[in-house]
Structure 1
Amino acid sequence: MIFALVLLTAYLIGAIPTGLLLTRMVGGGDIRNSGSGNIGATNVYRTIGRKLGALTLVGDALKGALPVLAANTLFGDNLYQVGAVSVAAFLGHCFPVYLGFKGGKGVATALGVYLVLSPLAVLGAFLTFAGLVWKTRYISVGSISAAAVIPVLVWFTRGSLPLLLATLIISSIVILRHRTNIQRLFAGTENKFKA
């Protein structure tokens, strides 16, 4: 019963639309009607500004980190339960009940999850992300590549099958949710990052 309640709570926390709430608070309207239409940090950054984009990133990461921290405290000896809570928080962001199950791509929320599961894996994924964004100027290339490598990094740093399975699910969904970016990359119409 406690596990089911924690799973539901993790999903509901993950479903909080940070970018949408923050842009409305500053009078920026509905972020879904601006830029790419995504509720995540990259679209907020591009359409509203750096500060709000950074706040969205932090808020979305916390939505992933806090439920996993709670799961570690409650179920630390059962990594299948910790992994399930990780996936629930992530799914909340991608498919939020509050927005008709139409959410973000999940990169920042996955980051929060991974920071708790394996900070060392996050370091490796961040270096991958930063290097590719620096080289290509495409945030999507960095995000997709980091998502692709992090399950391997989690496996090498934690050696846990349940956490590997959780990270494979999360990373696969992150990549799938970038399919329009992938199409734009092949078409040469993807937006480049401007610092």
Structure 2
Amino acid sequence: MKTAILLVLAYLLGSIPSGIWIGKLFFKKDIREFGSGNSGTTNTFRVLGKAAGLIVFAMDLLKGTLATCLPIIFHLDINPLWFGLVAVIGHTLPIFAGFKGGKAVATSAGMLLGFAPLFFCYSVVFFLIILYITSMVSAASITSAIFVTLSSIFLPYIWPTILPTQNWLLTLVCFLLTCYITYRHKENILRIKNGTENRVPFGLNKKEK
């Protein structure tokens, strides 16, 4: 019973539509009506600005982290990744926002932070490198998801300090999330191919102000 209750709590945590709530509460805007129409971090930055974007990013990240830590906090002998994955499902299919949510990137990163902090830091470094090279959040997100999945397989053998043991559930979850993240970015991929993808004011190909 405790496990079921905590899984529901993990889903509800993931379902918190940070971008929508911040937009409506402080800016009187529904960010789904502006920009890309997405309720996630990137569109929040674009529509509401840096401060709001950072707050929403932190909220989306930490709700994945907190959900992943639930079995540890309540002393359950269950792999925390299940709770993190449920939170990601909540983020993408939020009950508080008509089951239309974000693209899973920030909350997936939060899950990784809760499960393996050093692996999370390692992954963030790669993400920032790709973001600097491309100046595109979408490209960095997709590439990083693939990189994390592959790293979950090989890293325990080549750099065990970062990821000490092989965990096939981690690899499976990363693979599933990579597929989902790539699918949710299908329109971004088309824009990348056409050279019309949105760029951020950071990196080698940054957007000019």
TM-score, normalising length from structure 1?
0.92
Could you list the per-position Cα deviations for residues 71-124 of structure 1 after superposition, in whole angstroms to 9, with x for gaps in the alignment? 233456432xx2221110001001112222110001111111001111222222
- The 2-side partners of 1:78 and 1:86 are apart by 12
1:181 is displaced (CA, Å) by 0.7
| 1:194 corresponding residue in structure 2 | 201
| 2:144 corresponding residue in structure 1 | 146
| 2:101 corresponding residue in structure 1 | 103
| 1:129 corresponding residue in structure 2 | 127
| 1:71 corresponding residue in structure 2 | 71
- The 1-side partners of 2:103 and 2:50 are apart by 19
Following TM superposition, where does structure 1 have runs of at least 4 consecutive aligned residues deviating by more than 4 angstroms? none
- The 1-side partners of 2:78 and 2:134 are apart by 40
Query: 1:176 aligned to 163, 170, 183, which one?
Result: 183
Is the CA contact (8 Å cut-off) linking 2:127 and 2:140 kept in structure 1?
yes
- The 2-side partners of 1:179 and 1:76 are apart by 38
| 1:161 corresponding residue in structure 2 | 168
SS, match of residue 27 in structure 2: coil
- The 1-side partners of 2:75 and 2:195 are apart by 46
Query: 2:113 aligned to 102, 112, 115, which one?
Result: 115
| 2:17 corresponding residue in structure 1 | 17
Deviates more, 1:36-45 or 1:152-161: 152-161
Is the CA contact (8 Å cut-off) linking 1:139 and 1:193 kept in structure 2?
yes
1:38 aligns with 2:38: yes
Distance 1:95 1:6, change over 3 A: same
Give the gaps of 5 or more residues in structure 1. none
Larger proportion of helix: 1
SS, match of residue 26 in structure 1: helix
Is the CA contact (8 Å cut-off) linking 1:125 and 1:150 kept in structure 2?
yes
Deviates more, 1:161-170 or 1:95-104: 161-170
| 1:62 corresponding residue in structure 2 | 62
SS, match of residue 69 in structure 1: helix
- The 2-side partners of 1:191 and 1:148 are apart by 21
Is the CA contact (8 Å cut-off) linking 1:20 and 1:31 kept in structure 2?
yes
Decide which structure has the larger Cα Rg and report it: 2
1:27 is displaced (CA, Å) by 2.1
Aligned-partner residue type, residue 18 of structure 1: S
Aligned-partner residue type, residue 78 of structure 1: I
Percentage identity across aligned positions?
A: 33
Is the CA contact (8 Å cut-off) linking 1:94 and 1:103 kept in structure 2?
yes
- The 1-side partners of 2:167 and 2:58 are apart by 27
Give the gaps of 5 or more residues in structure 2. 157-162, 203-209
